[in-house]
């Protein structure tokens, strides 16, 4: 009996199956899957900066440079500072004070940073959770399997490897692992 013959369970049954076994996904499902496929490509495509970004960046840098120069230039002696100096500070000290960092501002910064800390922490935890991509999860599972082997729990390791292979058939199982877990009965 040829392989072809073995593969044909019965011509009339096959014909019946072909004729009446029709089923297909609905259009909505098709659309979702196609959109997902497109989205996956869009996500993996490297983003090219818009052509106007370079111009904008140059202009920004120029404005910043001019701003710094203006701020660091001491005022002319005949030009009194517009804001009154802090109490206890003489007029002579004003230019130095203007170029020095303002203590009130530098004290406020750590406070704002402290207020943002829990939020940033939550965000980073969320991102870390999202960042555990399928490959990361698989790598973690492989690590667990290695730990089981090291602990001599071969049966559990085999079971876990089997589950992993079922869940992720696309995954390459490292050769050493496959060898270590080869069932002696096989």
Partner 1 sequence: MNDARSDDDLMLAYARGEARAFEVLYERYRQPLYRYLFHALGDRASADDLYQDVWSRIIDARTRFRKDRGFKRYAFRIAHNRLVDHWRALERQGSGSEFDERTLAAPAEQQPESSNARQQQAHQLREALMQLSTEQREAFLLQQEAGLSLADIAARSGVGRETVKSRLRYAVKRLRGLLAPGAEAAGP
**Distance in Å, CB of 132 to partner 1, minimum:** 14
Please give the span between the terminal C-alpha atoms of the chain, in angstroms, as a whole number: 28
Residue 9 or 87 with smaller CB distance to partner 1: 9
Contact set for partner 1, span 26-55 (CB under 8 A) = 26, 29-30, 32-34, 36-38, 40-41, 44-45
Query: Is the separation of the CB atoms in 174 and 164 below 8 Å?
Result: no
Between CA 136 and CA 139 the distance in angstroms is: 5
For the chain, the 3-state helix, strand and coil shares in percent, each to the nearest 5, are 70, 0, 30
**Distance in Å, CB of 57 to partner 1, minimum:** 28
- Please work out the total of residues on this chain that contact partner 1, with binding judged by CB under 8 A: 37
Between CA 20 and CA 35 the distance in angstroms is: 30
Between CA 144 and CA 141 the distance in angstroms is: 5
Candidate residues 15, 17, 89, 93; the one interacting with partner 1 per rule CB under 8 A: 17
7 binds partner 1 (CB under 8 A): yes
175 binds partner 1 (CB under 8 A): no
**Distance in Å, CB of 13 to partner 1, minimum:** 6
Q: Please identify, among the stretches 24-32, 64-72, 85-93, 118-126, the one whose residues bind partner 1 according to the rule CB under 8 A.
A: 24-32
Q: Which residues have C-beta within 8 Å of that of residue 168, sequence separation ≥ 6?
A: 134, 138
Binding mask 72-101 for partner 1 (x = CB under 8 A): ------------------------------
Q: 123-151 in b/e burial notation, b at 16+ Cβ within 10 A?
A: eeeeeeeeeeeeeeebeebbeebeebbee
172 binds partner 1 (CB under 8 A): yes
**Of 129, 139, 144, 131, whose CA–CA distance to 168 is shortest?**
139
Which residue ranges make up the site for partner 1 (CB under 8 A)? 3, 6-7, 9-10, 13-14, 16-17, 19-26, 29-30, 32-34, 36-38, 40-41, 44-45, 134, 166-172
């Amino acid at each position: 009996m040829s392989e072809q013959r073995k593969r044909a369970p019965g011509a009339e049954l096959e014909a019946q199956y072909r004729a009446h076994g029709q089923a297909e996904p609905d259009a909505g499902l098709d659309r979702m899957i196609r959109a997902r496929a497109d989205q996956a490509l869009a996500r993996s495509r490297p983003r090219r900066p818009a052509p106007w970004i370079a111009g904008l960046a140059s202009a920004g840098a120029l404005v910043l440079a001019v701003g710094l120069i203006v701020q660091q230039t001491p005022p002319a002696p005949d030009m009194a500072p517009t804001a009154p100096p802090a109490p206890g500070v003489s007029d002579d000290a004003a230019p130095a004070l203007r170029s020095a960092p303002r203590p009130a501002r530098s004290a406020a910064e750590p406070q704002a940073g402290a207020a943002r800390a829990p939020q940033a922490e939550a965000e980073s935890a969320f991102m870390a959770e999202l960042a555990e991509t399928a490959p990361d999860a698989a790598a973690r599972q492989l690590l667990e399997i290695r730990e089981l082997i090291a602990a001599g729990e071969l049966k559990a390791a085999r079971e876990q490897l089997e589950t992993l292979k079922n869940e992720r058939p696309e995954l390459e199982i490292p050769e050493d692992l496959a060898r270590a877990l080869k069932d002696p009965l096989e």
